[in-house]
Amino acid sequence: MAIKTSPEKIAQVVELRSQGRKYLEIASELGMGVGTVWHILNPNEKYERVKARRKEFRTLNVLSTVVLGQRVKLKVKKRPKPNICELCEEPPRGKRARLHWHHWDDEHPEYGLWLCLRCHNGAGFIEKGLLERYLSLKEEVVHAT
């Protein structure tokens, strides 16, 4: 959020604060709200906190998935996110180490597990029935040689 305050006012706020004045005193003297004084003196703090809160909300309440070939975002109440994968019970690792919400039913996306990328990919592999195909192809190759 950008503060629409003149550079002179900002300089006054900074100067008064450096003199040890309290936020309320500065606000009263300059005719502005205490919140405005706080934002001038802490320009990035609120943005970082809001950004972190939004990210946490999206993690627990928004599901990005593919429905009928289109990527969509659904509002879903997920279970609390643990620190480790619920399947292998290890923390996620790698460059993009994070847990993924794996749901198996598009009718009920709130039913799911928090999985590391490796387990998430493995679960998709199994659900598509590729495990059986892989095992049978493996047997064919072994017996063909």
Span 26-35, pLDDT tens digits: 999 999 988 8
Residue 2 lies in a domain: no
Whether the full predicted model's pTM is greater than 0.85, yes or no, is: no
Look at the chain and report how many structural domains it folds into. Answer: 2
Q: Examine the domain organization and report whether 139 and 98 are in the same domain.
A: yes
Cα distances (angstroms) measured from residue 139 to each of 36, 67, 109, 127: 70, 35, 36, 21
Is residue 1's pLDDT more than 50?
no
Cα 46 to Cα 24: distance, rounded to the nearest angstrom: 19
Q: Examine the domain organization and report whether 69 and 140 are in the same domain.
A: yes
Grade residue 38 by pLDDT with cuts at 50, 70 and 90: confident
Is the distance from CB of 102 to CB of 95 less than 8 angstroms? no
- Domain coverage including residue 24: 7-43
Q: Examine the domain organization and report whether 68 and 138 are in the same domain.
A: yes
Is residue 122's pLDDT more than 80?
yes
